Amino acid sequence: MTTSIAGTYVPIAPMRITDTRSGSGYPNAGSPIGNGGAINVQLSGVGNLPTSGISAVVLNVTVVNPTGPSFVTVFPEGAIQPLVSNLNFTAGETLANLVTVELGSQGGVTIYNHSGLANIVVDAEGYYTTTPQAFGLYNPVNPLRILGSLASGITLSAGMTTAVSVAGVDGVPADASAVVANVTAAGSTGPGYLSVFPAPDSGLSTPPSASNVNFGAGQVIGNRVIIPVGIAGQIEVFNYAGTVRVDVDLDGYYTGSSGELGSAFVPLSPTRFTDTRVAINGSTISPDSSESFNFLSDHIPTTATALLSNVTVVAGGSPGYLSVYPVNLSTPPEVSDIDFASAAIDQNLTVAQLSGAATELFNSGAVPLNVVIDAFGYFAPPPPAVMIAANPISITADDISTLTLTITVTTGSGVAFDDPVTISLSPNTLGACGMSSFAGSTNALGQVTSTYTASNTPGLCTITATEANGGTMGSTVITQTPTG
């Protein structure tokens, strides 16, 4: 299920990749997806996406004016279609949802439509690398409303933009490269959309052509966004038409400098983890109540800090909202992840903070709520790397000569401090290894040293260092030369 790829996030300027509407001028123009149909969308090497080094992409996928109720699934091109959904919609609805999906071997994804006819618009927002880079590691924060209140958001009129400060809020550092947030629109006077983008360095704001939240008149709807942070530590929200109330909830951030701690992203083959309708990994959430969901049985490690999943609510006879939050909080935070109508099916991409592979879901509604959780990846600290260097690399086999072994343990976040290290010796011929002193734990530079003393047998000795926190090993070979 897991690809064993751990990478970091690289935001890009929002870029339209495909638009099936006739005359759009983009790939797949004039080719809406029919009943049980699918289209392939090439991503690697397109626009400002690199040709290689991408493990997964972040896309904003919008369905436009479908002919009937249906769902859309986005999955790696060339893979077997998984039993998951990314968007659930009704006839005539324009609906967007953020999608994170692993790329197929040819650098593309497949988009499947279950029934009816639907136009699809795809905007690329960023990508995850195939190996950890110096920045772009993820850090969840306790969910916090940073614009508006739980009861209502601030009001934006047509063409209006508002700045939202994120740097210095809820632990977000000034050099964060991007933030993860949920943006909700409510009570609009007509159909429209919101665009979210980094605040400009100077001058007037210029919203991108891409949309993040599409809404109808009076609708309450949110969408997850991953937005680069502007130079002043702010993001901006733009309302295209009509008057609408807007709120923003902060979920986490990506590091912007090397040496900062955080978690790398490990993509998963899209997999359904939970479906309370059929009692798979959880039960119906009672009214005005919370329930914990644990994903250890789904092979999510206890070291994972967040789960990236699409959460779908199958509401009963009461409207309300769903909040996803850490299990260690005694009460639900005043945020919403999915606002749902009575007897509706609604969804949103979530980046749920984990503790022991578990997270908490709160149902504000007046009736029991069923949830479906489809997982696409998780965040966990990058595995350590161990390097061992010998100085010198050759000594005399005389039972006296010594050399110094320097072991360095690093992660994608920087050096590994206070990580115990052990040393083992393996000769190519019997007796060709001497003895090494006890290494101990790494210091603030991620290093620990040991003294190696030669034996009296010439030959090659492989010296292996193993760090304790992850069991990662590194080796070097030294030579014991004959005396005289």
Residue extents of the structural domains in the chain: 138-254, 385-481
Residue 329: exposure state from Cβ atoms within 10 A (0-12, 13-18, ≥19): middle
Phi, psi dihedral angles at 432 (to 5 degrees)? -80, 5
Please say if the pLDDT value at position 273 is more than 60.
Answer: yes
pLDDT of residue 1: 45
Comparing CA positions, the residue from 402, 389, 409 lying closest to residue 469 is: 409
Q: Does domain 385-481 have CATH number 3.30.379.10?
A: no
CA 440 to each of CA 98, 170, 313, 450: distance values in angstroms, whole numbers, following the listed order:
46, 36, 51, 9
Q: Does the structure show a pLDDT above 60 at 326? A: yes
Q: What is the pLDDT of residue 413?
A: 58
Q: What spatial distance separates the first Cα and last Cα of the chain, rounded to whole Å?
A: 58
d(CA 352, CA 97): 16
Please give the average per-residue pLDDT across 189-200, as a whole number.
94
CA distance 362 to 367: 12
Q: What percent of the chain is modeled with pLDDT above 70?
A: 98
Number of Cβ atoms within 10 Å of the Cβ of 12? 16
- At 471, the pLDDT band (50, 70, 90 cuts) reads confident
* Alpha carbon distance 230, 174 (integer Å): 10
For 424-463, what is each residue's pLDDT tens digit?
999 999 999 999 999 999 998 999 999 999 999 999 999 9
Task: Select from 339, 337, 343, 309 the least CA-distant residue to 325.
Answer: 337
Report helix, strand or coil for 461.
Answer: strand
Q: What is the mean pLDDT of residues 247-272?
A: 92
Of 67-76, 253-262, 290-299, 367-376, where does mean pLDDT reach its minimum? Answer: 253-262
| Summary mean pLDDT of the chain | 94
Q: Which residues contact 434 (CB under 8 A, 6 or more apart)?
A: 399, 425, 452, 453, 454, 455, 461, 480
Amino acid in position 91: A
Q: How confident is the model at residue 2 (pLDDT cuts 50, 70, 90)?
A: very low
- State the average pLDDT over residues 169-190: 96
- The predicted model gives 28-49 an average pLDDT of 96
pLDDT-based confidence at residue 313 (cuts at 50, 70, 90): very high
Which residue do the tokens 């916090």 mark?
A: 144
Look at residue 276 and give its three-state secondary structure. helix
Q: How confident is the model at residue 417 (pLDDT cuts 50, 70, 90)?
A: confident
With DSSP H G I counted as helix, E B as strand and the rest as coil, what are the percentages for the chain, rounded to 5? 0, 50, 45
The distance of Cα 416 from the centroid of its chain, to the nearest Å, equals 23
For the chain, give the number of residues: 484
State residue 89's pLDDT score.
95
- Please name the CATH architecture into which domain 138-254 falls: Sandwich (2.60)
Q: How far apart are CA 219 and CA 186, in angstroms?
A: 6
**Residue 297 in this model has a pLDDT that exceeds 80:** yes
- Give the global pTM: 0.83
Token digits of residue 61: 């996928």
Among the listed ranges 53-62, 405-414, 422-431, 475-484, which one has the minimum average pLDDT value?
405-414
- How far, CA to CA in Å, does 390 sit from each of 149, 403, 473, 475? 60, 7, 15, 10
Measured CA to CA, the distance from residue 83 to residue 93 in angstroms comes to: 23
